[in-house]
Amino acid sequence: MAGQLMLCATPIGNLGDMTPRVIEALRKADLIAAEDTRNSLRLLNYFEIKTPMTSYHEHNQSEKAEWLVARLLEGKTVALITDAGTPAISDPGELLVRECHKAGITVTSLPGAAACITALTVSGLSTRRFCFEGFLPKEKKERREVLEELKEEGRTIVLYEAPHHLRATLSELLEVLDDRRITLCRELTKKFESVCVTTLREAVLRYEREEPRGEYVLVLEGKSRQQKKEEKQSVFLEMPLEAHMAAYEKQGITRKEAMKLVARDRGVAKRDIYRLLLEDKDANQEYEE
């Protein structure tokens, strides 16, 4: 009978956030797969956990996932932990989970700390709908494509960033997404935790003067429906009225129905479109005469 993979959330800074359930699971597991065994050893020693460890990280994830699946198929119970937070979030854990599902191995998650959720809840921005982007891609083309997608994102956006990349990332965000509200969360749950509610423009200026320190979670305001509507209307308003009408009429739409659609696109009443069309017609007739 196959064993079980347990995804065990560990503290993101404050050891008091380690749950009793996770401590018990780590003690009872046959093996702990850790992102950094040296870092995790300090955590395990603190809670007097003696379970054997093996490394599972970005550089060995493919071959090690195969090895771990083999141990699980032998009936072993394996606990997966990362340097901090919930496994499989911005780390190689997702590959192991996928391989376990393929092999028919039971996977369970023992919840606990997650930097993205912690930051979102203290951000002051909308928590009803959000997207988690993690670390932006390093490759320039892919990074630009992701930023262009985020420019139109209506949900609150959560990003991770290291201190030595923060300045460049804030500048890129301002350039592509334009100025908007942002909350910068630093060293969450730790002694020097800070939450800065500001704007992208002000954040760029702040870190021109101040040296970034610690790990950051950036929580960005999404583009509102109203803003999207106004931007769409501005495109239509730049189009000549008759050209706008013609675009619909070429689709076989009647002139009367086209006037309704044009009015909707431009954010005005149908009678206003009718009046403007009459004025244009009268002006053309006068010109011809």
263 neighbors 273 (Cβ within 8 angstroms) = yes
pLDDT at 133: 95
Task: Give the pLDDT band (50/70/90) at residue 148.
Answer: very high
Residues 23 and 103 in one domain: yes
**Does residue 137 fall inside a structural domain?**
yes
For residues 266 and 276, what is the distance between their CA atoms, to the nearest angstrom? 13
pLDDT at 230: 74
Residues 104 and 150 in one domain: no
pLDDT over 60 (residue 38): yes
DSSP 223: P
Residues 234 and 200 in one domain: no
Of 212, 213, 281, which Cα lies nearest the Cα of 241? 281
Residues 179 and 252 in one domain: no
State the distance between the two ends of the chain, measured CA to CA, in whole angstroms: 93
pLDDT over 80 (residue 281): no
- Indicate which CATH number applies to the domain containing 81: 3.40.1010.10
Domain limits at 47?
Answer: 4-113
Residues 212 and 141 in one domain: yes
pLDDT over 90 (residue 71): yes
Give CA 67 to chain center in angstroms. 31
Percentage of the chain lying above the pLDDT 90 cut = 74
Dihedral sign from CA coordinates of 155, 161, 166, 171: negative
What is the pLDDT averaged over residues 53-66? 93
- Indicate which CATH number applies to the domain containing 193: 3.30.950.10
186 neighbors 213 (Cβ within 8 angstroms) = yes
pLDDT over 90 (residue 11): yes
**Does residue 289 fall inside a structural domain?**
no
Of 261, 232, 234, which Cα lies nearest the Cα of 247? 261
Q: Give the β-pairing of 181-186 and 130-134.
A: unpaired
Side-chain-side CA neighbours of residue 287 (13 Å): 6
When divided into structural domains, the chain yields a total of: 3
What is the pLDDT averaged over residues 178-192? 96
pLDDT at 264: 83
Residues 236 and 269 in one domain: yes
Residues 107 and 201 in one domain: no
Q: Which residue spans within the chain are E strands per DSSP?
A: 4-8, 31-34, 53-55, 77-81, 106-110, 130-134, 156-161, 181-186, 194-199, 216-220
